[in-house]
Amino acid sequence: TARFNPLEADAHWQKVWEERGTFHTSDSSGRPKTYVLEMFPYPSGRIHMGHVRNYTMGDVLARYRRMNGFEVLHPMGWDAFGMPAENAAMEKKVHPGAWTRSNIATMRGQLKRLGFALDWSREFATCDPEYYGHEQALFLDLLEAGLVYRKQSEVNWDPVDMTVLANEQVIDGKGWRSGAAVERRKLSQWFLKITDFAEELLEGLGELDQWPDKVRLMQENWIGKSQGMRFRFALEQPIGGHRDLEVFTTRPDTIFGASFAAVAADHPIALTLAEGNEALVAFIAECKAGGTTAAELETAEKKGFETGLRVVHPLDPNWTLPLYVANFVLMDYGTGAVFGVPAHDQRDFEFATKYRLPIRRVVAPAIEDADLPIGGEAETGPGVIVNSRFLDGLDVEAAKAAVIARAEAESWGEGTIVWRLRDWGVSRQRYWGTPIPVIHCESCGPVGVPKDQLPVLLPEDVSFDIPGNPLDRHPSWNSAICPRCGAPGRRETDTLDTFVDSSWYFIRFASQPTDKPFDRAIAESWLPVNQYIGGVEHAILHLLYARFWTRALKRIGLLDIEEPFRGLFTQGMVTHETFRAPDGRWLSPDEVEQKGGTWIESATGQPAQPGRVEKMSKSKRNTVDPEPIVNQYGADAVRWFMLSDSPPERDLPWSEAGIEGAWRFVQRLWRMSMQRAEDGDEAEGEDKALDRKLHQTIASVGANIESLAFNKAVANIYELANAIEKAPVSRSRAKAIETLVLLIAPMVPHLAEQAWATLGGKGLIADARWPEADPALLVEDEVTIAIQVNGKLRDTLTVPKGSARETLQEMALASERVVRILEGKPPRKVIVVPDRLVNLVA
């Protein structure tokens, strides 16, 4: 038979699917609905192997569910806003929009070339004004509901380029282009109140039983709920009306390890004391000059000013502690005041070392270790409480509870819940994003743009010749009329974080009317996404923001869905070998060869050092461009390789041998299918064993695809193929081949369509029904029985399942080996466990 020609077949079937609208999804077909979604790509330029792997997995599931009678929503679009487009604009002098659109065109073609069963009629890019206009409307709804607010927040400021930098543009504390040391500046920015949802986002994780445990744990840690406490120290002498000092702690268990108390430089007590105290005024000024980020506070030298005041320990009226003003205490966190436990907090440790304050252990590995000295740094780990009176012997958590209970009973403090989660700052001082639909008015403040004036379009006429945000310096775009009072105002020039765009795209895929973001009933008929597939790098932010956005829409009554993604799967990466030249240059695997057992760089003959097998990345020069591979081997071989070699959650090492193996197997599948045509319809005779193998394969391939164990489904198909090849011509074999073609259709759809058409199948195989496994053929009808003498295995018997006790006993006694061991004597006792064993007691 002729070889399978993937280039012809791929093009032909892709055209047929497109012309017939095979994968257009209907909202109203009456079939049960299922939603399969892969994380939409950023249009960076070209499709990479990671995309191919991700989308192949989703495609197999989508096609499988179609064949099982579902109406499958399987859409594709583009996460199209973001920094790289602006960088390209600066470097290549192309407009970010033009750059993005041309990348989308390339990548769309590459995806189509792989034959994915996508509903392209629902495609959109987040930079489409229709999309971001609806996003602006949703932003205004959240603003009106009080879930959006404005506050001062710090940004990275490049003092040479006079521009705000994104975090990715700050490299080792320096601006990526100017190389100048980056400063922190406070700007008024927009925030979404995700912290209002902290409790429900945490609770909701409990129900996500189709998510990987590790992702749920990462989200749990990110939300970070912990027990804290506020309590008051009495001041030994009142000062300026202050009688006590309220502190905040997350470690009330260490209360007996306190050796000082400290307030922030701008704490009211510090300000009161500073009146007329020049030394303190100077110290406060010094504190304010330093940075205030967590990282800076961590590394900066800890400095304090001893006030001369003392505070009274709440659990011992005879115990007082000195009060400092300290540079590492922040005014806008907790109460702006702390108590210091040098043994168990690193900042306090450094502070105490400098000012010679006691370092007292209150947590130890075991109760006997109470006197163990503290070494060169604070011990922050778990342990047993020591040197702490009524807390001695408790673990950390129990001691926290005990201290809080006591404080609450004696009314000097209260337990509080603390969250690590912070509100989501969504302002970006960039051009290529969704404009925040707000106008600033001198008398009215920030006012939302009326919805009938949406979308607020990005201006096209911008230049990237000088650094900074082109929206800021646009000659006309940023002037606007205040919608409330009609006075001239200024348009907001910040754009939204691109994570906002990806927080609701899956809703817009489900329903995209022109006059509103989505139709509620239709969106609810598809959501939640039944299976979401993507990289683990999005385990925290994207997934958390999308969960928040969905709950926020529910709260404001726009959508009655709580969790957007019912099932989540995080696939492994595609990896490849790495090589380096002696001078440290990365060499692409194409540039090296093996000679006499060592690697050399082909062009120069210089030795090449093989490195680790690592995630494909441009910087290590170990990427493989999928396009030429698809053109050489065809889409099906590439798809097959992506599924076959590794479990989908693990890394997949790319190899030439692997793709060639896949190509050979595709050819073998083709020859086998054509064998069916050659055998003709006259083939006769049953082959029970092959029938059984076939039906077991139907069941296991289906179950393995459902559980996304694609490599196992592939292995099932290899086995069936082997069995078919070994089997003589029979009616059973004809049926097995026909069914095999259906079983491979989700994985190698082009070959399957071609074989289906050649063998005279009706319509498209994409629309065919998945074969049904006959339950009667799933059970093995023979079993192996163990024959024991005095509990020791002596022989085995293969018998029909369900054979009678008497039959088994007779057969066991007739066994040659048993007869030999019993030396002809009858056994004293016979124990028969049907289908399992016969034990003869001699």
Q: Known binding site: residues?
A: 618
Q: State the number of binding residues for Zn ion (CB under 5 A).
A: 5
Shortest separation between residue 539's beta carbon and ligand ANZ, angstroms: 22
Question: Which CB atom, from 284 or from 456, has the smaller least distance to Zn ion?
Answer: 456
Give the nearer residue to Zn ion in terms of CB position, either 444 or 729. Answer: 444
**DSSP states along 176-245:** TTT-PBPEEEEEEEEEE-GGGGHHHHHHHHTT-TBS-HHHHHHHHHHH-EEEEEEEEEEEEEEETTEEEE
Q: Cα 457 from chain centroid?
A: 31
CB of 541 to Zn ion, least distance (A): 35
d(CA 47, CA 642): 14
Sign of CA dihedral 745, 751, 754, 758: negative
Cβ proximity to ligand ANZ: between 341 and 832 the closer is 341
- The residue (of 418 and 811) whose beta carbon lies closer to ligand ANZ is 418
Does the CA dihedral 392-395-396-398 come out positive or negative?
A: negative
Query: Which residue's CB is nearer to Zn ion, number 481 or number 819?
Result: 481
State how far the Cα of 47 lies from the Cα of 114, in Å rounded to an integer. Answer: 11
Alpha helical stretches, state H, 300-360: 346-355
Neighbours of 699 (CB within 10 A): 18
Encoded amino acid at 273, one letter: L
CA-CA distance, 250 to 429, in Å (whole number)? 35
Report d(CA 654, CA 639) in Å as an integer.
13
Say if residues 760 and 811 touch (Cβ distance below 8 Å). Answer: no
Q: Which does 333 bind (CB under 5 to 8 A by kind): Zn ion, ligand ANZ, none?
A: ligand ANZ
Could you say whether residue 388 binds ligand ANZ (CB under 6 A)?
Answer: no
* Residue 339 touches which of ligand ANZ, Zn ion, none (Cβ within 5-8 Å per kind): ligand ANZ
Least gap, CB of 444 to Zn ion (angstroms): 3
270 token code pair: 């510090």
Q: How far is the CB of 395 from ligand ANZ (least distance, A)?
A: 15
What x/- string results for residues 617 through 656 when contact with Zn ion is judged by CB under 5 A?
----------------------------------------
Task: Give residues 224-253 in contact with ligand ANZ (rule: CB under 6 A).
Answer: 248-251
Give the one entry of ligand ANZ, Zn ion, none that residue 433 binds, where binding means its C-beta sits below a cut-off of 5 to 8 angstroms depending on kind: none
Q: Which does 501 bind (CB under 5 to 8 A by kind): Zn ion, ligand ANZ, none?
A: none
Rank residues 94 and 444 by Cβ distance to Zn ion and give the closer one: 444
To ligand ANZ, the closest distance from the beta carbon of 551 in angstroms equals 25
Q: What CA–CA distance (Å, rounded) separates 240 from 278?
A: 18
Nearer to ligand ANZ, 345 or 691 (CB): 345
Query: Which residue, 58 or 314, has its beta carbon nearer to ligand ANZ?
Result: 314
Among 440, 474, 484, 490, binds Zn ion (CB under 5 A): 484
Question: How many residues bind ligand ANZ, per CB under 6 A?
Answer: 17
Would you call 731 exposed, middle or buried from its count of C-beta atoms within 10 A (0-12, 13-18, 19+)?
Answer: middle
Return the one option of ligand ANZ, Zn ion, none that residue 484 interacts with (CB less than 5 to 8 A, by type). Zn ion
Residue 254: name its binding partner from ligand ANZ, Zn ion, none (Cβ under 5 to 8 Å by kind): ligand ANZ
Q: At what angle do helices 626-633 and 635-644 cross, to 10 degrees?
A: 110
The interface with Zn ion within residues 70-89 (CB under 5 A) comprises none
Q: How far is CA 756 from the centre of its chain?
A: 38
Contacting range for Zn ion; rule: CB under 5 A; set: 360-368, 396-404, 477-485, 679-687: 477-485
Q: Is residue 589 near ligand ANZ by the rule CB under 6 A?
A: no
329 touches, from Zn ion, ligand ANZ, none (C-beta below 5 to 8 Å by class): ligand ANZ
Binding mask 301-340 for ligand ANZ (x = CB under 6 A): ---------------------------xxx--xx-x-xx-
300 binds, among ligand ANZ, Zn ion, none (CB under 5 to 8 A by kind): none
Of residues 348 and 497, the one with the C-beta less far from ligand ANZ = 348
Strands (E), 28-147: 33-38, 71-73
Which range in 28-36, 146-154, 444-452, 608-616 contacts Zn ion by CB under 5 A? 444-452
Buried b (16+ CB within 10 A) or exposed e, 191-221: bbbbbbbbeebbebbeebeebeeebbebbee
Q: Is cis: bond before 826, omega within 30 of 0?
A: no
Nearest distance, CB of residue 251 and ligand ANZ, angstroms: 4
- Partners of residue 183 on adjacent β-strands: 157
482 interacts with, out of Zn ion, ligand ANZ, none, CB within 5 to 8 A per kind: Zn ion
115 vs 437, beta carbon nearer Zn ion? 437
- HEC assignment per residue over 760-803: CCCCCHHHCCCCCCCHHHHCCCEEEEEEEECCEEEEEEEEECCC
Q: In what order do the strands lie in the sheet with 183-192?
A: 163-165, 148-158, 183-192, 424-425
**Site map for ligand ANZ, 399-428, x if CB under 6 A?**
-------------------x----------
Rounded CA-CA distance 715/721 in Å is: 10
> Cα angle at 183 between 177 and 188, to 5 degrees?
110
Contact partner at residue 13 from ligand ANZ, Zn ion, none, CB < 5 to 8 Å by partner kind: none
Query: CB of residue 254 vs ligand ANZ: minimum separation in angstroms?
Result: 4
Least distance to ligand ANZ, CB of residue 329, Å: 4
Q: Which stretch binds Zn ion (CB under 5 A): 267-275, 319-327, 341-349, 438-446?
A: 438-446
Q: Are 446 and 492 in contact (CB under 8 A)?
A: yes
Which of Zn ion, ligand ANZ, none is residue 441 near (CB under 5 to 8 Å by kind)?
Zn ion
Beta bridge mates, 597:
none
Interface residues for Zn ion in 507-546 (CB under 5 A)? none
Phi, psi of 98 (to 5 degrees): -65, -40
Question: From the CA atom positions of the chain, what is the Rg in Å?
Answer: 35
Of residues 223, 220, 226, 217, the one with CA closest to residue 253: 226
- In the complex with ligand ANZ, the residue whose CB is nearer, 6 or 340, is 340
Build a one-symbol-per-residue string for 344-373: x at contacts with ligand ANZ by CB under 6 A, - elsewhere. xx----------------------------
Q: Which one of Zn ion, ligand ANZ, none interacts with residue 783, CB within 5 to 8 A by kind?
A: none
Residue closer to ligand ANZ by CB (options 418, 522) is 418
| 361/428 with CB nearer ligand ANZ | 361
Interface pick for Zn ion out of 482, 669, 698, 832 (rule CB under 5 A): 482
- The token pair at 21 is 């609208």
Report d(CA 713, CA 665) in Å as an integer. 15
Give the strand pairing for 574-576 and 614-615.
Answer: antiparallel
Residues that constitute the known binding site for ATP: 618
Q: Which of 136, 189, 254, 716 binds ligand ANZ (CB under 6 A)?
A: 254
Q: Which is nearer to Zn ion, 485 or 833 (CB)?
A: 485
Distance, CA of 85 to CA of 501 (rounded, Å): 16
The dihedrals phi and psi of 496, each to the nearest 5 degrees, come to -80, 145
- Give the binding site for Zn ion (CB under 5 A): 441, 444, 482, 484-485
- Give the binding site for ligand ANZ (CB under 6 A): 248-251, 254, 328-330, 333-334, 336, 338-339, 341, 344-345, 418
